[in-house]
Amino acid sequence: MIVVVGAGPAGIAAALRAQECGARVTVIDDNPNPGGQIWRGDDENSWVARFRSSGIPLLSSTRVVAVDVEARSLLVETDGVSGRLSWKKLVLATGSRELFLPFPGWTLPGVFGVGGLQALAKTGLPVAGKRIVLGGTGPLLLAVGAYLRQHGADVKLIAEQANIQSLAGFAPELLRHPRKVLQGASLQWAIAGTPYRTGCWIDSAEGVNKLERVTVRSGRDIWTEDCDYAGVAWGLTPNTELLESLGPEPEDVYVAGSGEVDLSFVEGEIAGLNAAGYPERTVLLAPKLEKARGFAAALATTFALRDELRHLAKPDTIVCRCEDVTYGELRKFTSFRAAKLQTRCGMGPCQGRICGPANEFLFGWETGTVRPPVFPAKIATLFSDAPLPADTTGQPDTKEITS
Amino acid sequence: MTRISINGHQVSVPPGTMLASALLGSGAFRFRNSVSGEPRAPLCGMGVCFECRVTVDGHPHARSCQVPVREGMEVNT
Ligand SMILES: Cc1cc2nc3c(=O)[nH]c(=O)nc-3n(C[C@H](O)[C@H](O)[C@H](O)COP(=O)(O)OP(=O)(O)OC[C@H]3O[C@@H](n4cnc5c(N)ncnc54)[C@H](O)[C@@H]3O)c2cc1C
Ligand code: FES
């Protein structure tokens, strides 16, 4: 039995390839619908449709909170039920989340990750007439800018930190990917009329108890933009918590995805074939892998974060939002471990998911120190070997999920 | 429309709205107080940052960006 964690492009590709080889596969994802960050809830996407009609079981709204490598089992939790699921081969396709860099005022209500702002808008946050500034880097800024405009927002500025020279350097790579050029062209159409400044970034956010304006910088020019919401995008950071909890070189565990969509997909295909025991079939995917890697590498170079961004945080800027630990406090330490012990940085409910990557960027610290459970789990889940009677404790029913 | 109560005030939102979106839409900006007393509101919109925690039907620490609204839900920020 192959268990795939994550039903994004990588997980879907892994599951379909493994099934093609005749393997038994189950997929787990903590969202209600398959598709991952990019295709979520998009039933028109042909891969999501293929996955749905494949007959591969999907445990949706189910999250993996720990992996036991010795026992080859996963501790999973879903609404009201939790238990263990055993695997012979495990594919981790857990994707990525947004990276956040601290700057003065980033804790003000009204400052979001651009992906987060889009997710909120898609789930009922009215944006019509709202004045919005987007800042950071990468194609996601344009995609979300276009989405917000289509829904009536007044997108006042899109500030791209990369400079025009590096964007121009990206053009030849785009030409090798005609489908992406089309995507890019339609995005440009959708944001026509919105100022898009390169070599430009949000320096700080200001307001009393909520966002009122941002200060923007481009070269020597500094100005403010009044706004209701700001969306920031500094790139993505992979969800490596489960993998890190496994220790070095775990057997029969395959990892795929977390990057740009085409690369995630082909990595998923490869992981699926390997897990199903057909590594020789991956040879055919080599050209596809190389092409996807080329594009992903060009993206990474074009939208590399500039050094100035390391200096946005001031001594009183909060870095760890769970425990309110400031840049000034953290800068006294030489490692994340030391900072954690002395300041509780990274020890709040997000378990360092937000401040960990920020600390890596600011100080060059290694921060991968997540311990199971990788998500705050219900107590019942942690003791799921010893089922609690639901009627007497009022706790969720706990049972063994057999596969 | 789905009716929910936000700090005692009745609000109607389209069914399927996520609680965080409903709260922001209704003008709520202080979802929780940080350990030093600052107002905080959603950041990530995808269940990672824990900034959107509110009390739902008496249960504290619900991540409102992951909770769809339900008829009669009582929310306190
Ligand atoms: C906000 C946002 C917007 C993006 N937009 C684009 C875009 O426009 N174009 C582009 O090319 N790329 C985009 N990306 C990058 C995107 O991550 C990839 O293109 C693509 O989604 C990667 O596929 P994946 O399968 O590797 O990961 P994902 O699509 O992220 O899928 C991983 C899945 O695993 C699940 N998961 C993670 N951990 C667990 C766990 N412990 N238990 C259970 N389930 C778990 C997640 O819920 C998720 O559904 C975006 C990323 C983000 C965060
Ligand atoms: S907004 Fe980040 S967890 Fe809800």
The structural domains of chain B, ordered by start, are 2-76 (3.10.20.30)
- On whether both A164 and A27 belong to a single domain, the answer is no
Look at residues A198, A216, A233 and tell me which one is the last residue of a structural domain.
A233
Look at residues A208, A233, A258 and tell me which one is the last residue of a structural domain.
A233
Structural tokens at position A182? 């089309």
- Whether residue B20 and residue A120 make contact (CB cut-off 8 A), yes or no, is yes
- On whether both A179 and A143 belong to a single domain, the answer is yes
- On whether both A46 and A192 belong to a single domain, the answer is no
Distance from CA of A24 to the nearest CA of B (A): 30
How many structural domains is chain A composed of?
Answer: 3
Does A281 fall in a domain? yes
Q: What is the mean pLDDT of residues B29-43?
A: 96
The H helix count followed by the E strand count for chain B is 1, 7
Report the distance separating Cα A253 and Cα A90, nearest Å.
Answer: 5
The predicted structure's pLDDT at residue A69: 87
With 0-12 / 13-18 / 19 or more C-beta atoms within 10 angstroms meaning exposed / middle / buried, residue A222 is exposed
Does A374 fall in a domain? no
Q: Is A353 in the pocket of ligand 1 (CB under 6 A)?
A: no
- On whether both A89 and A69 belong to a single domain, the answer is yes
Closest CA to B65 of A196, A96, B51: B51
The predicted structure's pLDDT at residue A105: 98
- On whether both A288 and A330 belong to a single domain, the answer is no
Range of the domain at A61: 2-97+237-297+380-401
Relative to the alpha carbon of A231, which ligand is closest? 1
- On whether both A326 and A205 belong to a single domain, the answer is no
Which residues in chain A are closer than 8 Å to B29, comparing Cβ atoms?
Answer: 109-110, 209-210
How many contacts, defined by CB atoms under 8 Å, are there between A and B?
Answer: 99
- On whether both A227 and A250 belong to a single domain, the answer is no
Distance (Å) of CA A84 to CA A75, A208, A247, B41, B49: 5, 48, 20, 34, 26
Q: What is the ipTM of this complex?
A: 0.97
CB-closest option in B18, B34, B44 to A98: B44
Look at residues A188, A217, A233 and tell me which one is the last residue of a structural domain.
A233
Q: Is A95 in the pocket of ligand 1 (CB under 6 A)?
A: yes
The predicted structure's pLDDT at residue A54: 96
The predicted structure's pLDDT at residue B23: 97
The predicted structure's pLDDT at residue A182: 61
- On whether both A181 and A241 belong to a single domain, the answer is no
| Ligand 2 pocket, CB under 6 A | B 20, 42-45, 47-52, 63, 65
Q: What is the mean pLDDT of residues B60-73?
A: 93
- Averaged pLDDT of chain B: 95
Report the distance separating Cα A36 and Cα A23, nearest Å.
Answer: 23
Q: What is the dihedral of CA A148, A205, A349, A91, to 10 degrees?
A: 50
- Give me the residues of chain A with pLDDT under 50, please: 379-380, 382-403
- On whether both A177 and A287 belong to a single domain, the answer is no
